[in-house]
Structure 1
Amino acid sequence: MLFALATSASPGPVNIAAASSGVAFGLARTLPQVLGATIGFSSLMLATGLGMQALITGVPVIHSVLKGAGSLFLAYLAWKLWRASGTPSEIVIGKPLGMLDGAVAQWVNPKAWIVAASGIATYTYPGEAYGSSVLAMSMVFLVICFPSVGAWALCGAATRQLLKTEAAIRRLNMAMAILLLVSISTLFL
């Protein structure tokens, strides 16, 4: 549970997007994205534990393709944030991300893949207990991920009242864009 909390609550692309959406659209309109990210990560954890890891290990180029595609997607989001105007409705992309967007964001998020693979490798039991331990990990993340990502959205929504000027919103957009780019760069160290 501590592993799930530390990895779900730590800064990363999905959490940064949730905070930005919270600022732009408030908590209620960001919750579908948070729910999608939660379900997306839990399903990624389950898929990784039940076979994707073997596929990625067997065909290493898949990992490189996922890492590259995920990095490009995140760089695109950073570019959108950097270029967004200072009006609140444009902080993210003009409309709140939905549940499917939140789920897909996890599947192309290199941090999510690293967390899923390391979690499976570290916290599952071998032998007959393997399948049930993978399922248990996925359920733990299902429970912990929602409030963790939701906290970022809540912080964004709370910050919304402080961002009264277009200049303040532009600075937030740029800071979030830089954080996204930094999160991408750490994947290649």
Structure 2
Amino acid sequence: MITAFLHGFLLALGLILPLGVQNVFIFNQGATQPRLIRAVPAVLTATLCDMLLILLAVLGVSLIVLQVVWLKTLLFGAGLVFLLYMGWSIWRSPAGVSQAERPEPFSPRKQIAFAASVSLLNPHAIMDTIGVIGTSSLQYDSPDKWVFTASCILVSFIWFVGLAVCGRLIGRFDGSGRWLLWINRLSAVIIWGVAAYMGWQLLASA
């Protein structure tokens, strides 16, 4: 069981470390929310979505779904549209040099909607989950398989909490709001970059 736990922990950590849309969004919420606890909806939603994807990958359900060509195309298309909208929303967030002009924090409902979308409408994250975590889980039988699965889910939760905390620390010491402005701008550019790559893949597969 210890081997399965360590395997899942290190594997999930390696997958989640690269700077992606999901990570950028959680960090952004930690930085822009007035209190760290206000970023909890985004953190919990991202964790639950990752948990769902990991469970589906381990059970083999997601692999079957993505073999349906039209469904895969629909997933890419929906993800592309939403990422473009999300980047625009973050880019246009008002940011100034005074405390009152700081970027307007997302409401809990908007956090949940955005976190769920960047998690569930991100084909690259889904393919990583299926191709790496799902495939790696095949070498284990119960109960080791579920220890491996729980370890992967635990990494997601710890990582998202850490991102929100780091974002909060930067936001807390940014009295002018300038850092938050650039965080928003960088977040939007990264999100648009991922959207552009998804659009290119969508055209290439057409």
TM-score (ref. length: structure 1) = 0.82
Unaligned runs of at least 5 residues, structure 2: 1-8, 96-100, 202-206
Does residue 5 of the first structure (1) align with residue 17 of the second (2)?
Answer: no
* Count, aligned residues: 184
Matched residue SS, 2:141: helix
CA distance in 2, matches of 1:151, 1:183: 23
Equivalent residue for 2:102? 88
Equivalent residue for 1:176? 187
Give the conservation status (yes or no) of the 8 Å contact 1:41–1:141: no
Give the conservation status (yes or no) of the 8 Å contact 1:33–1:99: yes
Equivalent residue for 1:141? 152
Offset from partner CA, 1:128-176 (integer Å, 9 cap, x none): 938973x444322221001112222111101103432244432221111
Give the conservation status (yes or no) of the 8 Å contact 1:70–1:109: yes
Unaligned runs of at least 5 residues, structure 1: none
Change (3 A) 1:168 1:98: closer
Say which of 172, 175, 182 aligns to 1:164.
Answer: 175
Equivalent residue for 2:162? 151
For the aligned residue pairs, the C-alpha RMSD in angstroms reads 2.6
Say which of 50, 64, 70 aligns to 1:54.
Answer: 64
Change (3 A) 1:79 1:101: closer
Give the conservation status (yes or no) of the 8 Å contact 1:38–1:141: no
Larger Rg, first or second structure (1 or 2) = 2
Letter in 2 for 1:88: R
Does residue 123 of the first structure (1) align with residue 140 of the second (2)?
Answer: no
CA distance in 2, matches of 1:181, 1:160: 23
Give the conservation status (yes or no) of the 8 Å contact 2:39–2:164: yes
Change (3 A) 1:55 1:131: farther
Give the conservation status (yes or no) of the 8 Å contact 2:91–2:188: yes
Change (3 A) 1:168 1:120: closer
Offset from partner CA, 1:18-67 (integer Å, 9 cap, x none): 1111111142211231122111111112123431211221x122112112
TM-score (ref. length: structure 2) = 0.76
Offset from partner CA, 1:92-128 (integer Å, 9 cap, x none): 54x24555653454112223212211124530226x9
Equivalent residue for 2:28? 20
